[in-house]
Amino acid sequence: MSETKTKTIGILTSGGDCPGLNAAIRGVAKAALSQGTKVIGIQDGFRGLVENRVMALEDKDVSGILTHGGTFLGSSRDKPHKMDMGGTVMDMTDVAVANAQKNLIDCLVCLGGNGTQKNAMRLHEAGLDVLTLPKTIDNDVAGTDITFGFDSSMAIATEAIDRLHTTASSHHRAIVCEIMGHKAGWLALGAGIAGGADVILLPEIPYDLDYMVEHLLARRHHNKRFSIIAVAEGSRPKDRNTGKKNASKKKEEASLIEEPIASRLAREIQQAAGIEVRFTSLGHVQRGGTPTATDRLLCTRMGTKAGELLADGVYNVMVGLRGDVCEAIPLAEVAGRTKLVPMDHRWLKTATLVDTCLGDKLSFQ
């Protein structure tokens, strides 16, 4: 075994959790430990680094956690450059870097989504070497075909749609199911196709209510007396944010932000289509529980790839999956970018070919 170029790593999980984080920590730590690298676990994301809440991790600490949901290190949404320190928001970047140095950390491994990629980049710019892994149920991190956590969450949302199907069918109702995803529609689109939703609404395609209602009424006309509408939490109607905003428009927009999209949509469909509509919001259920086999494999592959890169002294990169290969992607190409569903994505065409309405007429239809 050639000597590792990295004596000590710190590892933290930051941002919203997801199934697979423990599997990824295990992958990184086991690979690093086996190459003689010391591993320091940092609690509760960047806040733990600023507060120097750290612990040495040994093999026994990362054994038996492959299937566990959540993250045993804890997570937070705190950013080093804007951290609430007892009521005052402060730039704690220098403290974070100094604590990493105090713990002799050669490279800080950060597991997280878009916010984490940006925060890791900031620490790199402040003088700390970092390496990141793309974690999020939203699948919206640039530089990788897929993020870990997405497959597990998609499976949960798909099962929920399956369950909604049976009750919607019994009562001849339409049911709106709100799915997470932040500003991207990957989760709603994937689960919507897998669950056979009749309508899928995404932030990337502002929806036309009349077009959608026409689709729902056509189903009724063909004796399909129930419908499932999978709506991504970030979806918006077509006419929002266009033209000059007067006071009443601004007020309407503020109320839209307060009211969850599913309840608003259910009300609008019921009024416009004259059919009985219910809604449900899956919320944090989508982030809980054990990772799927696909996520366990992905986390283990990405985690151990990180271990290999660390041994070679490759820093300031994100481990991304391109095709079927785990690659080192320069962090500068990732941080600050969001991967939305592109309008030519094959899943969109797939959905329309099975007669799923995507909220508006698309050019390839």
Q: Which residues are catalytic?
A: 138
Applying CB under 6 A, the span of 2-10, 134-142, 263-271, 340-348 interacting with ligand F6P comes to 134-142
- State the Cα–Cα distance between residues 241 and 222, nearest whole angstrom: 36
Applying CB under 6 A, the span of 175-183, 212-220, 249-257, 292-300 interacting with ligand F6P comes to 175-183
Partners of 39 in the β-ladder:
9, 57
Of all helices (H) and strands (E), which one includes residue 48? helix 46-50
- State the Cα–Cα distance between residues 178 and 284, nearest whole angstrom: 11
Residue by residue, DSSP assigns 277-343 as: EEEEE-GGGGG-SPPPHHHHHHHHHHHHHHHHHHHTT--SEEEEEETTEEEEEEGGGTTT-B-PPPT
Q: How many residues bind ligand F6P (CB under 6 A)?
A: 10
User: Are 311 and 34 in contact, with CB atoms under 8 Å apart?
Assistant: no
In the bound state with ligand F6P, the residue whose beta carbon lies nearer, of 226 and 279, is 279
In the complex, least distance from residue 153 CB atom to ligand F6P, rounded to whole angstroms? 8
Q: Is 113 in the site for ligand F6P (CB under 6 A)?
A: yes
**What character string, x for contact with ligand F6P (CB under 6 A) and - otherwise, covers 179-208?**
-xxx--------------------------
Question: How many angstroms separate the first and last alpha carbons of the chain?
Answer: 57
- Of residues 136, 152, 235, 304, which one binds ligand F6P by CB under 6 A? 136
Pairing of strands 199-201, 227-232: parallel
Q: At what angle do helices 186-195 and 346-353 cross, to 10 degrees?
A: 30
Pairing of strands 317-322, 325-330: antiparallel
**What character string, x for contact with ligand F6P (CB under 6 A) and - otherwise, covers 289-328?**
----------------------------------------
**What character string, x for contact with ligand F6P (CB under 6 A) and - otherwise, covers 232-271?**
-x--------------------------------------
Applying CB under 6 A, the span of 83-91, 178-186, 198-206, 288-296 interacting with ligand F6P comes to 178-186
Contacting positions for ligand F6P (CB under 6 A): 16, 113, 136-138, 180-182, 233, 287
